Structure 1
Amino acid sequence: MNFLREVVQQLFGSSIVADIDLTAVGGGCIHSAGVFQFENKKYFIKWNENASSMFEAEKNGLTLLSETSSLIVPKVMGRGTTERVDYLCLEYVESGPAEAHFWKIFGELLAQLHQHTSAYFGLDYDNYIGRLAQSNEPAEDWIEFFINRRLMPQLKMAQDKGLIRKELVSDFEILFNKLRELIPEEKPALLHGDLWSGNFLIGEIGRPVIFDPAIYYGHREAEIAFTRLFGGFDSEFYHAYNGSYPMQPGHEERVGIFNLYPLLVHLNLFGSAYLQEITRTLGRFT
Structure 2
Amino acid sequence: CIGMGQSPKSDAVSLRTFNRNFYGRSGTLSAGIYLVSPEVAAASAITGVITDPTTLDYADEFEKEQSYIDDSLIYAPSKNPENVEIVRGPNIKPLPVNTPMDQTIDKKVVIKLPDNITTDHIAPAGAKVLPYRSNIEKLSTFIFENNKPHFDEVCKENNGGIIVAGENYGQGSSREHAALAPMYLGIKAVLAKSFARIHLANLVNFGLLPLVFDDKSDYDKIDEMDELKIENVDSLYNSFDLTIENVTKKETYKVHAPISKEDVEILMAGGALNYIRNQQ
The two structures share one fold, judged by TM-score above 0.5? no
TM-score (norm 2): 0.25
Greater share of helix residues, 1 or 2? 1
Q: Tell which has more relative contact order, 1 or 2 (C-alpha 8 A, sep 6+).
A: 1
